[in-house]
Structure 1
Amino acid sequence: MATIAKITAKGQTTIPADIRAALRVGPGDSLVWELEADGSARVRRVQPLDLDYLKAVEGTLSEWASPADEEAYRDL
């Protein structure tokens, strides 16, 4: 499937309805753009993060939050 869309002076474009339907995206959804080695771009829907889950997990990671850990992993 190929659909053409123009880019505005602000760098914006409208995602055609058939592409939005195929990606299952709508207002407020997030997309990620990935550049491929051949110069093409790939776009896909980003799954929303479950913030409550992430906050719960964060509470279990305190053992990895010491000043020594910050020093050891600073340049990663």
Structure 2
Amino acid sequence: MKGSKLTIKHQVTIPRDVRQALSLKAGDQVDFAIENGRAILTRVDESDMEWARFIQTQMPEWSDPHEDTYWADL
């Protein structure tokens, strides 16, 4: 297991072997998930980003924070 120190700006450096294993480079998008008290880092595929951008343009209500608040209890 690799570690990294959290900076005052709440940033961390992803260790080189982790970056290499996920084929990460500067500017890549990553996702975080919490499962059983652990954070999981996943590289976002560019085709997923294209789909997300398309959805945001076609269905802007999906990115509306007011909608998120409305549906939060479901």
**Short-chain TM bin:** 0.5 to 0.7
Could you tell me which residue of structure 1 aligns to residue 7 of structure 2?
8
- The structure carrying a bigger helix percent of its residues is 2
Could you tell me which residue of structure 1 aligns to residue 41 of structure 2?
43
Q: Does 1:19 align with 2:12?
A: no
Show structure 1 runs of 4+ deviating over 2 A.
none
Once residues 42 and 24 of structure 1 are traced to their aligned partners in structure 2, the CA distance between those partners, rounded to angstroms, is 16
Could you tell me which residue of structure 2 aligns to residue 70 of structure 1?
none
Q: Which amino acid aligns with 1:43?
A: L
What is the root-mean-square deviation of aligned Cα atoms in Å?
2.5
| Deviation sequence 1:22-70 (CA, Å, 0-9, x none) | 111001100000011x11111100011374xx76xxxxx8xxx9xxxxx
* Percent identical residues: 32
Q: Which amino acid aligns with 1:42?
A: I
TM-score, normalising length from structure 1? 0.61
Once residues 23 and 14 of structure 2 are traced to their aligned partners in structure 1, the CA distance between those partners, rounded to angstroms, is 12
| Deviation sequence 1:10-33 (CA, Å, 0-9, x none) | 000111100000111001100000
- Provide structure 2 residue ranges, at least 5 long, that are not aligned to the other structure: 60-66
Q: Which amino acid aligns with 2:32?
A: W
TM-score, normalising length from structure 2? 0.63
- Provide structure 1 residue ranges, at least 5 long, that are not aligned to the other structure: 56-60, 66-73
